[in-house]
Amino acid sequence: MKVGFIGLGIMGKPMSKNILKNGHELVVYNRSRASVDELVACGAEAASSSKEVAEKCNVIITMVPNSPQVREVCLGKDGIIEGAKKGTVVIDMSSIDPVESKSIGEELAKKGIELMDAPVSGGEPKAIDGTLSVMVGGKKETFDKYYDLLKTMAGSVTYVGSLGSGNVAKLANQVIVAINIAAVSEALTLAVKNGADPALVYNAIRGGLAGSTVLDAKAPMMMDHNFKPGFRIELHIKDLNNAINAAHATSTSLPLTASVMEMMQALKNDGCGKEDHSALVRYYEKISAVSVEKKD
């Protein structure tokens, strides 16, 4: 299968390499030429624009930062819509506002181009080893047709529903993760302020109902003050903002999401935007005048 890939960033580059490793032809485009050259060295063909990718491929994957960039590569000057033939399928694997997914899909459909939204969870390590979790919205028959292609990049690929549903699932995931990180931060701060050892408290509660993947992944990072990014605060702010925008479009109230996003925004203003989202504990440490960091 000849596949187009637009967006060779932290996630897109390893994802595209996994497509090549599984025997597909690949045509790539990225604003930064260095990433394109790296993929060409791996066997891909370079394109000079999104339009050229669309001229050469009947299925195109996009992996760009947010809704405006998806709109640009799909509908803008030299975009996919200018080069694609009727029947082309675009699989947008970016994490964006589901309202925008539907809007962009409607514009592409006028030219006979079909859009699926297929955001991913797992971060750079899972993009590299090809074990991402993918949540897909769109037509079921199109999902079935390209399931094997998506599996070249993923450990799990799940059909969620109609167009936009993939991004709804991704935003629901991001809401749960953000609020859980805030809860862990709050709990560890409570422990320290009341004279308890946060490591002992963590070990006491992790086997009960409070135990979670978030607790096990993020509490040790908080206590080590190791905020090397697996997922940056500034990116989580973007996802929560998209969640709130989608909520406003459907008259849904997300008070906890809004609160955590404001905490993260405060940290970004303090220069912590590129740190891991576990650095949310810094917000609690600041307002409570305490540190949860383990003592040597």
Residue pair 46/33 in contact (Cβ under 8 Å)? The answer is no
CATH 1.10.1040.10 domain residues, the chain? 168-288
Q: Which CATH number fits domain 2-162: 3.30.450.20, 3.30.1540.10, 3.40.50.720, 3.40.50.300?
A: 3.40.50.720
**Cβ contacts of 262 within 8 Å, gap of 6 or more:** none
pTM: 0.91
Residue ranges, the chain, pLDDT below 50: none
| The pLDDT of residue 249 | 93
**Cβ contacts of 118 within 8 Å, gap of 6 or more:** 91, 92, 93, 134, 135, 136, 137, 138, 150, 157, 166
| The pLDDT of residue 123 | 85
CATH of domain 168-288: 1.10.1040.10
Rounded to the nearest integer, the mean pLDDT of the chain is 97
Query: Does the active-site annotation cover 286?
Result: no
pLDDT tens digits for range 106-121:
999 999 999 999 999 9
Among residues 170, 193, 218, 295, the one annotated as catalytic is 170
Residue 229 has a CB neighbour count (10 Å cut-off) of: 18
Per the listing, tokens 């960091």 go with 293
Report residue 291 as tokens. Answer: 């540190």
CATH 3.40.50.720 domain residues, the chain? 2-162
182-216: buried (b, 16+ CB within 10 Å) or exposed (e) per residue? Answer: bbbbebbbbbbeeeeebeebbeebeeeeeebebbe
